[in-house]
Chains A and B, each alone.
Chain A
Amino acid sequence: MTPTPGLDMPFFWIAFWCYLGATVAACAYAGLRSPRARALAYWLSVAGLAANTVALVVRGVLSGHPPVTNLFEYVTLFAWATVLGFVLLWRRRGAELLTVFGAPVAFVLMVVASLVPESIERQLIPALQSYWLWIHVSLAVLAEAAFAVAFVASILYLRRESRGGADEQDALDAIAYRAVGVGFPLFTIGALFAGAVWAARAWGTPWSWDPKEVSSLIVWLIYAAYLHVRLARGMRRAAAVISIVGFTATILTVLGSKFLGGLHAYA
């Protein structure tokens, strides 16, 4: 039986508008420093996260498989994991600004998702029928969400640098570092290792110089550079800049196959 299309979409749009509201509240907080605006941004993010969760679950039930098989599903899951990361940091000292400014990242991701086809495919194409799909994609999306946290923390670190506030800067730097510390191994295991094993099994070679493979390697090299600059050299400002460049490359990697095609063109 063909699933009823669009049953998940009302929840998607609730999440969309909640993240937009949280973004507006975050902007208000940036200008007014009102605790109410900050609380509003947080609670709208939480509400958006709840609706986002329901949308993904409903979609998973409708399609009969985890919602990670096309760009719409991937970006929606990316937004969910990103907001989850920011919400979990809410109580962390020094991360007050971070949670508030996570909403714009999620909102941009939801805008991207809203621009691509949201069709549900109950039947996966033969190439995607492997347990490696869940391992590869879920670890990659968690890693990229961690990079999103590091991205926002790095922006706020650089912003704080121009306004003083050493304590807050230290906290933001530590959060960015720990986020990369979570994301980098996940990215290595999920995107590169699991991806190479699956590619060898399905395509006969672990590496094909596919646009997504190459851009993922570039992302990996950028974050490797971040870790060396941050950990070995202690250059925190340069590390923050590299973190921002790294997340930009991550976004290009996620969206790249849409425009460049290649073996990952269905994603």
Chain B
Amino acid sequence: MSRAPVVTLVMIVVSLLLCAWVVACTWRRAARLGGARGPALVARVGTLITHASILVIVAGALWSTASSMRYASAAYLPAGGTLDVLPGGFTVRVDDAWTEVSDTGRPVEYVSLVTVLEGGREVLQHRIEVNSPLVHRGIGVYQLEMLPSATTIECAQLAVVVPADSGRAIDVDARFGEEAPVPGTDLSVKVVAFYSDFAYDIEEGTAALRSVQHENPAVLVQVAEAGRVVGERWVFAAFPGHEGDAALPCRLFLVDYTPDFRNGLTRFEISRQPGAPLLFAGLAAMSVGLALVFWVRIPAAAGRARKGSH
């Protein structure tokens, strides 16, 4: 027998014992209500509510334990990607996904614009954020993670050493897909491809994307001389000395890059917690009960505790 069912069983037994104790306690307290008046009555009602709320909380927790469901989607979805939410019988299509970033480059918000599809028919559109899930048919779709694009970047900061055997590096900011001249030379560079986690497929003899994580970022830089393309080379952030096979009139270094947050890869968590409303009702009742006991009739409570202090 694995450990998890044993722990669950123990928790259920402990919870039921707690419930039995609270029921007995509540029953005894309920019987005393009749004789109380004024602040004492408020205190006893508060105590009764507090103890009874434990039963509601335990019921909500047990219900959740028995029938809750929670899992993270396996894939990071780009715009256009879909996720089948099988327990709910619907599909979530990502219409757009991006990370809002501050001036300093820190993430401000992860946003996924999604459409809910049922039987291929669009039934609902929603903007999912970290604190704003999509809830449909009792199932919540939560924003779990967001990665910047794995195949595009906003801008690469390149160091171009020209002539190739010199030690003189020229800094060039090259926007993805746009030609950027190298100042003081007749060269220009263009970032034509990006892989966030570069791998080389030996069988195919081609570059490949190993994962969407930014583990081994590399850009494919095309170099032109006097307007004529003379070659291209993969340039790696983690391997600055890599020269490759192509003979170029310059050496290239990928100093840094600005990720493409606009075309994000989103990941969701799917959750169903049927016992949560009951749990919240119990916690709310407990809060009210404790407020009645300690705050509403506090002069009376303090009076008893203060006996002999003045």
Chain A residue nearest to B68 in the complex (CB) = A205
The answer to the question of B279 belonging to the interface, with a C-beta cut-off of 8 Å to chain A, is yes
Binary CB contact string for chain B from 115 to 132 against chain A (1 if under 8 A, 0 otherwise): 000000000000001111
Binary CB contact string for chain A from 174 to 192 against chain B (1 if under 8 A, 0 otherwise): 1001100110110011001
Chain A residue nearest to B282 in the complex (CB) = A193
- Within the complex, what minimum Cβ distance (angstroms) separates A132 from chain B? 8
- With A93-B310, A170-B307 in contact, do A205 and B290 touch (Cβ < 8 Å)? no
The answer to the question of A85 belonging to the interface, with a C-beta cut-off of 8 Å to chain B, is no
Question: B309 touches which one: A170, A182, A193, A205 (CB < 8 A)?
Answer: A170
- Within the complex, what minimum Cβ distance (angstroms) separates A95 from chain B? 10
The answer to the question of A200 belonging to the interface, with a C-beta cut-off of 8 Å to chain B, is yes
Tally inter-chain residue pairs, CB-CB below 8 A: 115
Interface size on B, residues (CB 8 A): 44
Among B33-41, B84-92, B178-186, B298-306, the one that faces the other chain is: B298-306
Chain B residue nearest to A195 in the complex (CB) = B283
Give the bracket for the number of chain A residues in contact with chain B.
Answer: 35 or more
A193 to B282, CA, bound (A): 9
Cβ A185 vs Cβ B269 within 8 A = no
The answer to the question of A235 belonging to the interface, with a C-beta cut-off of 8 Å to chain B, is no
Chief secondary structure at chain B's binding surface: mixed
Cβ A201 vs Cβ B294 within 8 A = no
Cβ A185 vs Cβ B302 within 8 A = no
The answer to the question of B61 belonging to the interface, with a C-beta cut-off of 8 Å to chain A, is yes
Cβ B280 vs Cβ A177 within 8 A = no
The answer to the question of B201 belonging to the interface, with a C-beta cut-off of 8 Å to chain A, is no
Question: Which of chain B's residues 265-310 have a Cβ closer than 8 Å to chain A?
Answer: 269-271, 273, 276, 279-280, 283-284, 286-287, 290-291, 293-295, 298, 301-302, 305-310
A132 to B102, CA, bound (A): 22
A204 CB contacts on chain B under 8 angstroms: 70, 133, 140, 142, 269-271, 273
Cβ B283 vs Cβ A184 within 8 A = no
B68, B293, B309: residue with the most chain A Cβ atoms closer than 10 Å: B309
- With A185-B295, A188-B283, A192-B283 in contact, do A201 and B309 touch (Cβ < 8 Å)? no
The answer to the question of B166 belonging to the interface, with a C-beta cut-off of 8 Å to chain A, is no
B107 CB contacts on chain A under 8 angstroms: 125-126
B residues contacting A by CB (< 8 A) are 61, 64, 68, 70, 102, 104, 106-110, 129-133, 140, 142-143, 269-271, 273, 276, 279-280, 283-284, 286-287, 290-291, 293-295, 298, 301-302, 305-310
